[in-house]
Amino acid sequence: MEHAEDAGVYRLTDELAIIQTVDFFTPIVDDPYTFGQVAAVNALSDVYAMGGKPLTAMNIICFPIKKMDITILQQILLGGVSKMQEAGVTLVGGHSVEDDELKYGLSVTGVVHPGKVLLNRGAQVGDRLILTKPIGTGIVSTALKADRVSDELLAKSINCMTILNKAAAELVTATSGVHACTDVSGFGFLGHACEMVENSGVGMKIDTAAVPFFPEIRALVEDGIVPAGLHRNRNFRLPMIDGAAGIPHWLVDILFDPQTSGGLLIALAVDQAEGLIARMHAQGLSDAAVIGEIVAEPAGRIQLLGRSRL
């Protein structure tokens, strides 16, 4: 727990460890079935980020049964189950309580070989960094509440949030030379990147022009439509980051956008990076990109490089 890992790992035997994680939250999309899907994909992600295979899950439900129609809950649970099935995960139970505010998520148990656990630390000098999904779901969810999102942008964001990190994780665990992995979630892309280098003895360079994001969110950020968590993320981690002054303000904000069900951030040996990207693209993960590299100096810090995409 000391290094803010994505999930807990407990060794059962020399060959087998279990991975446990829990995640649940309030709706970020209007459609109940879609919300169920997003919540399940998000909860499963931390097992994939550890290099594991999720096996079982339990529902966690807070539901205002006196003021909301039960069919909404049924749709949420069906959405969740659809993604558990896609992941090959068995729903083994759950618990529900009455609550004023609707919340849903999962506790997930997975397995991993104890020698093959992927930690967020361990990146080595010269490694390339790969990000597998575009950024912007937090800004889109905030803009949705302000009625500022086009159908097209909403569809893009939902598509991003409902893609399991399963395929990406299976490619990662089948690739040699992977030294670190995490998933991008509430702390934003740069927040989770900071976790990779903090007290790790290495630093990171990020090519800001290579980081994938939904292009439409630039205008939203410039209009001040950003989640409160984005400011918290930026204020917390900006002291670890060099070069932000040379990057457009809106882009720095985007790099701190809290993500729901974001992609994997992977550090791997330079000679493996191109091959992994090609295999990801072949599997339909078309936004996966090399977005930076691990450097020796300055250790424990991130340098932002690049020019604005004007």
Shortest distance (Å) from residue 43 CB to Co ion = 8
Nearer residue to Co ion within complex by CB, 148 or 232: 232
6 in contact with Co ion (CB under 5 A): yes
Nearer residue to Co ion within complex by CB, 106 or 226: 106
Within 120-262, residue ranges assigned H as helices are: 137-145, 151-161, 166-173, 188-197, 217-222, 228-237, 249-255
Residue 206, H or E segment: strand 203-207
Residue 55 has φ and ψ, to the nearest 5°, of -115, -45
Nearer residue to Co ion within complex by CB, 46 or 253: 46
Size of the site for Co ion (CB under 5 A): 5
Nearer residue to Co ion within complex by CB, 137 or 185: 185
Residue 10 has φ and ψ, to the nearest 5°, of -130, 120
- CB within 8 Å of 35: residues ≥ 6 apart: 27, 28, 29, 76, 79, 104
In the complex, residue closest to Co ion by CB: 6
Query: Of residues 148-207, which lie at the interface with Co ion (CB under 5 A)?
Result: 183, 185
Nearer residue to Co ion within complex by CB, 48 or 149: 48
Edge-to-edge strands, sheet with 103-112: 8-11, 17-25, 103-112, 53-63, 90-98
127 in contact with Co ion (CB under 5 A): no
Residue written as token pair 């931390």: 46
Query: Of residues 22-51, which lie at the interface with Co ion (CB under 5 A)?
Result: 23, 46
Shortest distance (Å) from residue 309 CB to Co ion = 27
253 in contact with Co ion (CB under 5 A): no
Instruction: Using CB under 5 A, list all residues that contact Co ion.
Output: 6, 23, 46, 183, 185
